[in-house]
Structure 1
Amino acid sequence: MPVTPTVAPGAPGIPARWTSSAKSGVGTSLSPAGQIWFTISHGILNEIYYPRLDSACTRDFGLIVTGPDGYFSEEKRDAAHAIEPFENGVPAYRLVNTAGDGAYRIEKSILADPARPALLQEIVFTPLKGAASDYRVYALLAPHLVNAGMGNTAWVGDHKGKPVLFATGRGTCLALASSLPWRSCSAGYVGASDGWQQLHNTGKLDPTCRRAEDGNVALTGEIGFSTGKSKALLALGFGATPDEAAENAFASLKRGFEPAAKSYVEKWRKWQKGLLPLDRHAASGINFYRVSTAVLATHRSIAVPGAAVASLSIPWGFNKGDDDLGGYHLVWPRDLVETAGGFLAAGDAASALQILDYLHSIQQPDGRWPQNAWLDGSAYWPGIQMDECAFPLLLADALHRAGHLPRARLAAFLPMIERAASYVVRNGPVTGEDRWEEDAGYSPFTLAVEIAALLAAADLLDACGKQSAAAYLRETADVWNDQVERWTYVTGTALCRQAGVDGYYVRIAPPDSAEAGSPKDGYVPIKNRPPGDTDRPAEAIVSPDALALVRFGLRAADDPRIVDTVKVIDAQLRCDLPQGPLWYRYNGDGYGEHEDGAPFDGTGQGRPWPLLAGERAHYELAAGRKDKAASLLAALEGSAGPGGLLPEQVWDGADLAERELLHGRPSGSAMPLVWAHSEYIKLLRSLRDGAVFDMPPQGVKRYIEDKTVSPLRTWRFNNKIRTIPAGKTLRVELLAPATVRWSTDNWATAVDSQTTENAFGIHLADLPTANLPSGSTLIFTFFWSGAGDWENVDFSVISGEQDSQSILPRQTP
């Protein structure tokens, strides 16, 4: 007698993919016992994260309905979807999915159990045509345990005599249980023998498919609906073992949905009640303020307080596989500080302080922060971005100025502040990569953050009695601030003539050309460039990033150079959409869908970013145009998805319904983007206050009001200037002690100057170039005290000219 097979055919299944990033809801229980974060789109659950919010464990979890005459309907594809939160600011959701053919309606209530790691779905199935007995409803779950779709094992089993659907992978298990016991069940390989294939092809599940090992697997179970039983509660439990996961699932079923919902809602109400009343109801009826605050709080870690990820989504996830481990559920220090700013603007200083604590804990020994990282601080991408190394200093200063970081507590952060400031002054002002993780060079955005951060750190060091170190940071900030235009401002270009302006700030200038005093002579390599595009000169790359010079208090909003730059930005990057104007990141941006709507795959075409409308609104507010800022707030709201979530980008082309791309609506990139929600909250606060909420005051006072100018120019091995304006003193900065031998008469005579070490381990010597006649050349070299050896080259600086760079062949002193 043949043995009935139990292992499904078709191993290991088709290559695993994630799912749509167009989320309509995200949520978590705010409970340490919960350890669950969930996402929703297209009327179903998508990624569910456990036990950390950087660990996605499912692809999606939806329903299939079958009926007479081969009827087959999948709710995510074949129904219209509506979503609403339980109440404002509480990210538990009611979903209504109505079949496009009018056959049925599915109502769901979804939340995470605050008492344990389990996700609850209360489901009501209502036939709109025929009788309940005509239909069968199946739950279809795709496990992607611990950020991977391949290498999972699924099986149909039981727990204490009750049927359960199980899966395991990489040391984590899930168990799906139902209050109405499962009828037929199966485990199979995706694209070959999974429940979708079985139901689509035969109208029923194959009871012999009980197990699918080490592949891309799916679980399917028929919910026991009947004429008298139209409501079911599904519990998806997680744990380290199958038994633990099943225990959690059945404990949630036993407790029931209402008690879990009561606890869930109470926790969110309590947190929301402590926030400032910045509520704003849009025309859609959505309270975007409470949506945004809930988004920020949902993206926080429970196990690692202060950690928060950039988005619980994987951009173009339906086109991404296991090689894209991180998605956006990683920590970006920049986004994290922006998130902290959103919490501060909403009145939650405690969350902002937790973020500063967390940043302190993951700071690298040399003072920098990873470009992005897992929750434990381990780096994901290897890059270095100088603005991310400077942003935490601005957060510490904002908390200190607001009275949330008094001197006694500030002292605990002093080592972090000193290390970060040291890293910035040693390695700036050139950015490792710009804020978009792309090109290196002189960026107005990074320069603004670095300079503002040095001034902020100086105030913090002053408060801790470190006056000498503070003075050096201010001197360095002054030197860099003086040269922002030299490094990033161009005049007389073709774009100037087109826009009718004298000049503008470029997006980024390569260090070689900027140090030579002419950014327009250099070329910027652009990542993700569309096929056939060519390298553009730096002068042709424009970005709204230059508005950071106003946002961080270094330039006045009415500075003619800023005003002219805004004209060029609008001429090149503004996109007028039904909700109002939005802006592109820069011309030539390749991060976005292709022209035909195909997903970004390493190349593409950048689309407008709602975030940039928020940044522009802050500029308009700084310029005194509150009405324009308010209209841009509405443009932000008009860019949101159906649940009020703000996307990273919106589609700017004609409608492509087959690709779910509609003009002015969210594109396939990340949604929600936490940074955009934080910017929205800050804009609400700024409009209420009548001033830019997060503008650091130090630069405004020093450069706009007092018009401070540096008496110095700095020479370093990473910034070898060869000319110096008349009247400036040349400061030589080295990373080791040395004697600087210098001459102003081509070595006919020479003078030795000893370097002195400052608080940051930088060895410096100020050479008396201020009184040199214009055109004079100062030549210098070094004797390295530690190595007992001369430098093998001479360097020169010409007085009275614009700064630039040169290395001369060494002459014997």
Structure 2
Amino acid sequence: MAVTPIVPPGAPGIPARWTSSAKSGVGTSLSPAGHIWFTISHGILNEVYYPRLDSACTRDLGLIVTGPGGYFSEEKRDAAHEIEPFEAGVPAYRLVNTAGDGAYRIEKRILCDPARPVLLQEITFTALKGAPDDYRVYALLAPHLVNAGMGNTAWVGDHKGKPVLIASGRGSCLALASSLPWRDCSAGYVGFSDGWQQLNHTGILDPAYQRAEDGNVALTGEIGFTSTTTKAVLALGFGATPDEAAKNAFASLKRGFEPAAKAYVQNWRKWQARLLPLDRHAASGINTYRASTSVLATHRSTAMPGAAVASLSIPWGFNKGDDDLGGYHLVWPRDLVETAGGFLAAGDAASALQILEYLRAIQQTDGHWPQNAWLDGSAYWPGIQMDECAFPLLLADALHRAGHLPRARLATFLPMIERAATYVVRNGPVTGEDRWEEDAGYSPFTLAVEIAALLAAADLLDACGKKDEATYLRETSDGWNDQLERWTYATDTAICRAAGVEGYYVRIAPPDSAEAGSPKDGYVPIKNRPPGDTDRPAQEIVSPDALALVRFGLRSADDPRIVDTVKVIDAQLRCALPQGPLWYRYNGDGYGEHQDGTPFDGTGQGRPWPLLAGERAHYELAAGRKDEAANLLKALEDSAEPGGLLPEQVWDGADLPERQLLHGRPSGSAMPLVWAHSEHIKLLRSLRDGAVFDMPPQGVKRYIEAKTVSPFRTWRFNNKIRALPEGKTLRIELLAAATVHWSTDNWATAHDSQTVENAFGIHLADLPTTSLPEGSALIFTFFWPGTGDWENVDFSVTSGERDSG
């Protein structure tokens, strides 16, 4: 009997939220025709991304089981979950969800159809108590089309006479079809009239709820299981129109699950077969190497080759709404270069080269890269981070040294290299923010990346015949390398005394407040977010980031300053966990759950990062302690969930099962973190090779072996030195042409030196200061011919004293 549709109550629904970021599986078809990506947690499908890797279109799709006497069970909450991939390196999954009360078992196989944008689930329902006819099984789908839970419209429709559940929003549509005919179906508003509310309260769906417009909506349909037919295939299709989405879904159903699965597995087998055999099996049986390589490949874009996002997750998503558009499904240039390094370590140079080509495409005209961006390169956050502007230079050099970027092809990247090097030399060495998107200042990590990148760029420019430009980049690197300790090394502190060391590298040292720059000189302060999560003085904040000085080849692993810093890092940041030691990002970190386990909400308490165990393992390998590096590899791998995915952070407190926080297991932050999987692959390669895979050789040769020092000490408006070590030439560097008006006798006599512009748009003047007597002051100011103005401020540098600037 036909029903009269009515408007479901509760419009527009409760505020939309995403779901758990603790994924147990991620996958895609590796097919240009598929262009969808999926995630799994708690035994059900979570976010599905379409048509781009940065466009989440669902919250989740799970099952509800009802039965006699008001029985109500939701598989994601009320069942125990098991998951395994079809085979090593193939991110298609078998799931088994067994009801906690022993009433039923649900088995699923989940993958994408490589031929079209459709997500397929083969579902088998088994009654463990009573008969199959005692139960009804419903699919509950929450559309969040194009990164938003509000503003969606859902309805019960049909396609060529067959029932289908449809939703639309922001120019995209989805359609959920079943191989077994849908029985009762409904559309409603979440929290009021959705299927969960109806079934929980009344045990039945109201078929009059046919359409829910412009809100936080959900679709529900009863799968037509019978006592003899207990297997069904659900097809979640996508398209630009409702008809296209439904057409895709039914086409996949017609083709069948097995042919789609065969093509899906073949795509992944073919790609995995091209990689180096670095296979390693965990105690669980998971091939950890193939799990990591599949994570890297799953996070790549098909529409924009070379683009890859940081994670197909939204940290603490269950607490995040539509105002958090990006989640982690954005491009971070730093993470992207780390991903390229993972591909390169695994033997997939083609993917690494695609990443370099993509980075070239989204580079900004002044040479920098956005802090993070959508796939089309448009910036999401407004900040600029200097390490992200330098990292692509290291990738280009790594590809060139490995023979994948011969001179002829290198020339096509020359404009990108020159622009990036220009941005770094003009705006460094102060970082816009550290690598964790937090405080500005002098960061050992960022400085290490900048210096190594300029040395790498110098070699690339040399290869292209640009000798003068290469010489200047090396001179700049030498000057910055000379001052690493002046900028970032603390001595005679309470931490030193407690650890019994002479000093250590701090996490980040704030720039001098006088270094804001002169508008006439063209320096533009980099936009920063508010300061970090601690009120501690900079010299009391330490971080494993200092190990980057070894990783990037600037300091030897046995340098006494590094050894002392490691002692401080372990005293302050090492956390003993069941899987082994992990480390915090820094003391006072506020990015993590609160002490009671409530989600990070702008404040919180940082938790240990498995990634940092991988970085520490590389340090141990550089120090010649291969066995210790191997132990840390195990701690890294044992931080993964059963599906092999590595989390961003793990919970370090007592078990809080009501918040799904267990000691040593993933917290509510991102999982998987692609950067952690890249580090895992690089560590496997490094252990095989017996050397740190991605350590640039230039710094090792120049600073550790040749012990090169700079003859210059540079004064800039963003780095105003106040003392000049004995025997150094004072180099003035400006971003506009000037006459340097200077005196060594307090203006009794004066001299003028004209700046000369180099290829990077920097105007230099080297003042003859090598023979200045100790304690004498050189005073200078500037005349700007471009405006006809004097600077009207005198600057002073004292010779022969310890530089405290």
TM range (shorter): over 0.9
Residues 290-344 of structure 1: CA deviation (Å, up to 9, x unaligned) = 0000000000000000000000000000000000000000000000000000000
Which sections of structure 1, spanning at least 5 residues, go unmatched? 517-523, 806-813
- The answer for the alignment partner of 1:519 in structure 2 is none
Deviation at 1:788, TM superposition (A): 2.5
Query: Counterpart of 1:230 in structure 2: which amino acid?
Result: T
Counterpart residue identity of residue 80, structure 1: A
8 Å Cα contact 1:145-1:172 kept in structure 2: yes
TM-score scaled to structure 2, two decimals? 0.97
* 2:614 equivalent in structure 1: 614
The gaps in structure 2 that reach 5 residues or longer are: 517-527
Alpha-carbon contact 1:442-1:514 (below 8 Å) kept: no
**Partners of 1:124 and 1:650 in 2: CA distance:** 34
Indicate if the aligned counterparts of 2:3 and 2:208 stay in contact, CA closer than 8 A: no
* 1:189-228 alignment runs, 5 A limit: 189-228=189-228
Distance 1:651 1:526, change over 3 A: farther
For the aligned residue pairs, the C-alpha RMSD in angstroms reads 1.3
Structure 2 distance, partners of 1:44, 1:454, is: 47
Show the counterpart of 1:290: 290
Structure 1: distance between partners of 2:535 and 2:138: 53
Work out whether 1:578 is the aligned partner of 2:578.
yes
C-alpha displacement of 1:785 = 2.1
C-alpha contact (below 8 Å) 1:639/1:665 kept by paired residues: yes
Indicate the residue corresponding to 1:377 in structure 2: 377
Q: Letter of the aligned partner of 2:296 in structure 1?
A: L
Mapped to 2, the partners of 1:31 and 1:525 lie a distance apart of: 39
8 Å CA contact 2:173, 2:238 repeated in 1: yes
1:50-65 correspondence to structure 2 within 5 Å: 50-65=50-65
- Specify the alignment match of 1:521 in structure 2: none
Q: What letter matches 2:572 in structure 1?
A: Q
Displacement of 1:749 after TM fit?
A: 1.2
Cα shift at 1:4:
3.1
User: Which residue number corresponds to residue 174 of structure 1?
Assistant: 174
Residues of 2 paired with 1:5 and 1:269: CA distance?
Answer: 49
Alignment partners' CA distance in 1, 2:183 and 2:93: 27
What is the DSSP-based 3-state SS (H/G/I as helix, E as strand, rest coil) of the residue aligned with 1:512?
coil
Give the secondary-structure state (helix, strand or coil) at the position aligned to 1:511. Answer: coil
Aligned counterparts of 1:526 and 1:786: Cα–Cα separation in 2: 35
Distance of aligned partners of 1:221 and 1:380 in 2 relative to their CA distance in 1, 3 Å threshold: same
Does the 8 Å contact 1:506/1:546 carry over to 2?
yes
> Counterpart of 1:93 in structure 2: which amino acid?
Y
Tell me, in whole angstroms, the C-alpha distance in 2 between the residues paired with 1:677 and 1:618: 14
* Matched AA of 1:162: K
Pair 1:636-2:636 in alignment = yes
Q: Which amino acid aligns with 1:452?
A: A
> Which one-letter code corresponds to 1:190 in the other structure?
V
SS at match of 1:59: strand
2:605, 2:790 → 1: CA distance? Answer: 52
Residues 94 and 108, structure 2, Cα contact 8 Å, conserved in 1? yes
Determine if the alignment matches structure 1 residue 243 to structure 2 residue 229.
no
Q: Is the 8 Å Cα contact of residues 112 and 119 (structure 2) preserved in structure 1?
A: yes
In the alignment, the residues of structure 1 paired with residue 642 and residue 654 of structure 2 have an alpha-carbon distance, to the nearest angstrom, of 20
- Paired residue for 2:434? 434
Aligned-pair distance for 1:515?
8.0
Displacement after TM superposition at 1:580 (Å): 0.2
- Structure 2 match to 1:31: 31
Secondary structure, aligned partner of 1:153: strand
2:559 corresponds in structure 1 to 559
Give the secondary-structure state (helix, strand or coil) at the position aligned to 2:480. Answer: helix
**Equivalence for 1:188:** 188
Contact kept? 1:526, 1:588, Cα under 8 Å: no
Give a deviation string over 1:257-296, Cα, whole Å, max 9, x none.
Answer: 0000010000000000000000000111110000000000
1:780 positional shift = 1.2
Q: Which amino acid aligns with 1:88?
A: A
Secondary structure, in 3 states, of the residue corresponding to 2:369? coil
Structure 1 residue aligned with 2:132: 132
Aligned to 1:800: 800
Q: TM-score, normalised by structure 1?
A: 0.97
Give, as a single letter, the amino acid of the residue that structure 2 aligns with 1:309.
Answer: V
**Residues 223 and 528 from structure 1, CA distance in 2 versus in 1: closer, same or farther, beyond 3 angstroms?**
farther
Contact preservation (8 Å) 2:55, 2:146: yes
SS in structure 2 of the partner of residue 536 of structure 1:
coil
Verify the 8 A CA contact 2:284 2:642 in the aligned structure 1.
no
Superposition deviation, residue 637 in structure 1: 0.8
Question: SS in structure 2 opposite 1:165?
Answer: strand
Q: 1:152/1:526 Cα in 2 relative to 1: closer, same or farther (>3 Å)?
A: closer
- Structure 1 residues 479-494: aligned runs within 5 Å: 479-494=479-494
For residue 263 of structure 1, what is the amino acid of its counterpart?
Answer: A
Per-residue CA deviation, residues 136-174 of structure 1 (Å, 9 max, x unaligned), is 000000000000000000000101000000000001000
| Counterpart residue number, 2:11 | 11
Question: More deviation in 197-206 or 740-749?
Answer: 740-749
Q: Letter of the 1:546 partner, please give it.
A: A
Match of 2:286, SS state, is coil
Q: Is the 8 A contact 2:740 2:755 kept in 1?
A: yes
Residue 352 in 1 paired to residue 352 in 2?
yes
Percentage identity across aligned positions?
A: 87
Runs of 4 or more consecutive aligned structure 1 residues displaced over 4 Å after TM superposition: 513-516, 524-528
Amino acid at match of 1:691: A
Aligned-partner residue type, residue 328 of structure 2: Y
In the other structure, the counterpart of 2:604 is 604
Matched residue type, 1:659: R
In structure 1, the residue matched to 2:499 is 499
List per-residue Cα deviations over 1:736-792 (Å, max 9, x = no partner): 111112111111111111111111011101001111000111111122222223221
1:513 deviates by: 7.3
Contact 1:313 1:329 in 2 (8 A): yes
Report the equivalent of 2:750. Answer: 750
Secondary structure in structure 2 of the residue aligned to 1:641: coil
Tell me what 2:647 maps to.
647
The residue type paired with residue 666 of structure 1 is P
Residues 410-442 of structure 1, C-alpha deviations (whole Å, 9 max, x = no match)? 000000000000000000000000000000000
8 Å CA contact retained: 2:439, 2:532 = no
Which has the larger displacement, 422-431 or 778-787? 778-787
Which residue of structure 1 lines up, in the alignment, with residue 150 of structure 2? 150
Quick one: distance in 1 between partners of 2:569 and 2:415?
40
- Say if 1:486 and 1:514, in contact at 8 Å, map to a contact too: no
1:690-769 map, 5 Å:
690-769=690-769
In structure 2, how many angstroms separate the alpha carbons of the residues matched to 1:189 and 1:422?
54
Tell me by how many angstroms 1:3 deviates. Answer: 9.1
Contact map agreement 1:528 1:602 (CA 8 A) in 2: no
Distance across 2 between alignment mates of 1:528 and 1:130: 58
CA shift for structure 1 position 514:
11
Structure 2 residue identity aligned to 1:122: E
| Cα displacement string for residues 557-580 of structure 1 (whole angstroms, at most 9, x for unaligned residues) | 000000000000000000000000
Indicate the residue corresponding to 2:412 in structure 1: 412
Aligned residue runs from structure 1 range 326-405, under 5 A? 326-405=326-405
What is the DSSP-based 3-state SS (H/G/I as helix, E as strand, rest coil) of the residue aligned with 1:199? Answer: helix
**1: CA distance between counterparts of 2:744 and 2:465?**
39
* SS state at 1:801 partner: coil
The Cα offsets for residues 15-47 of structure 1, whole Å up to 9 and x where unpaired, read as 000000000000000000001100000000000
